[in-house]
Amino acid sequence: MRLVIARCQVDYVGRLTAHLPMAPRLLLVKADGSVSIHADDRAYKPLNWMSPPCWLSEEPGVWTVRNKADESLVITIDEVLHDSSHELGVDPGLVKDGVEAHLQELLAAHPTVLGADYTLVRREYMTAIGPVDLLCRDPAGRHVAVEVKRRGEIDGVEQLTRYLELMNRDPLLAPVAGVYAAQQIKPQARTLAEDRGIRCVVVDYDTLRGTESKDLRLF
């Protein structure tokens, strides 16, 4: 991971245009090729970014990031205040607590809780930016990415949004719909999800546990 703190301005040219005037910012270049621009607020959310696959070209005073759709992120650098690179290695991923992991397992066994006639394709479907909890198909055969949480908050919606953006670029998967499943979903998270076309499902964990098979099994 490369961390650059610089006075810079940023111009995005693509389906839309956006401009960030000259100011000190953090430029984050990850090993997956992604480039994001951060200010000293907004928690983890970048001001602008380019998701992989994309390519960074550096010239004196100008970085240009392009993707395969020929969109570009042009970063004009006035002054570099810090530039360092760090090898983080392979991340072990998020370890879910017992209830959340069990909830995911139960939903994988009973995907119709998420939608009528849904079928499971795979648990922990790996993408370039992390695993999707469940990948399902709806009755029409379309893929559905499912994010499972105990408590549904805005950060879970943002996480699922990133998965959907990436998966819908894959012609073998697209179109991919989204389902946000949790024991409880905060109103703000529901509003954001529905605004992005993501369906919310509130899951009764205790009822779902009652459907679990009591048969002896090796695994």
**CB-CB contact of 54 with 34 (8 Å):** yes
Q: Higher-confidence residue: 198 or 52?
A: 198
Residue 216 has pLDDT above 60, yes or no: no
Using a pLDDT cut of 70, give the percent of the chain over it: 92
Confidence grade of residue 98 (pLDDT, cut at 50, 70, 90): low
Q: Does residue 165 fall inside a structural domain?
A: yes
In a shared domain, residues 103 and 208: yes
Q: Looking at the structure, tell me whether residues 8 and 77 fall in a common domain.
A: yes
Average pLDDT over residues 168-192: 95
Last residue of a domain, one of 85, 113, 128: 85
- 60 with 108, same domain: the answer is no
Query: Does one domain contain both 119 and 193?
Result: yes
Please check whether residues 135 and 59 belong to one and the same domain: no
| Mean pLDDT to the nearest integer, 103-130 | 93
Q: Tell whether 78 and 132 lie within a shared domain.
A: no
CATH of the domain at 145: 3.40.1350.10
- Domain-ending residue, one of 31, 62, 85: 85
CATH number at residue 37: 2.70.180.20
Do 116 and 191 lie in a common domain? Answer: yes
| pTM, two decimal places | 0.55
- Residue 142 phi, psi dihedral angles, 5° rounding: -80, 145
In a domain, 90, yes or no: no
- Residue 197 inside a domain? The answer is yes
Q: State the pLDDT at residue 215.
A: 47
CB 3, CB 26: distance < 8 Å:
yes
**Quick one: pLDDT at residue 101?**
83
At residue 17 the predicted structure's pLDDT band, cuts being 50, 70 and 90, is confident
Domain presence at residue 169? yes
Please state, in angstroms and rounded to a whole number, the distance separating the CA atoms of residues 27 and 123.
34
Q: Kindly state whether residues 45 and 149 are assigned to the same domain.
A: no
Higher pLDDT, 154 or 15: 154
Q: How far is the C-alpha of 136 from the C-alpha of 149, rounded, in Å?
A: 17
Asked if residue 91 is part of any domain, the answer here is: no
Within this chain, do residues 66 and 109 fall inside the same structural domain, yes or no?
no
pLDDT score at 207: 85
Q: Does residue 92 lie within any of the structural domains? A: no
- Residues 77, 133, single domain; the answer is no
pLDDT of 31 strictly over 90: no
| 150 vs 212, residue with greater confidence | 150
The mean pLDDT value for 197-211 works out to 88
Whether residue 148 is predicted with pLDDT greater than 50 in this model: the reply is yes
Q: What angle do CA 24, 29, 34 make, to 5 degrees?
A: 120
SS (H, E, C) 158-202: HHHHHHHHHHCCCCCCCCEEEEEEEEEECHHHHHHHHHCCCEEEE
Q: How much is the average pLDDT of 136-157?
A: 94
Which domain, by its residues, includes 81? 2-85
How many structural domains does the chain have? 2
User: Is residue 70 assigned to a domain?
Assistant: yes
Asked if residue 187 is part of any domain, the answer here is: yes
pLDDT band at 164; cut points 50, 70, 90:
very high
pLDDT per residue as tens digits for the range 60-84:
999 999 998 899 999 999 999 999 9
List the beta bridge partners of residue 38. Answer: 26
What pLDDT score was predicted for residue 42?
72
Q: Give which of 11, 103, 25, 116 is closest to 66, Cα–Cα.
A: 11
Q: Are residues 39 and 132 in the same domain?
A: no
Which of 28, 53, 85 represents a domain boundary (last residue)? 85
Query: What is the residue whose two structure tokens read 């100008």?
Result: 62
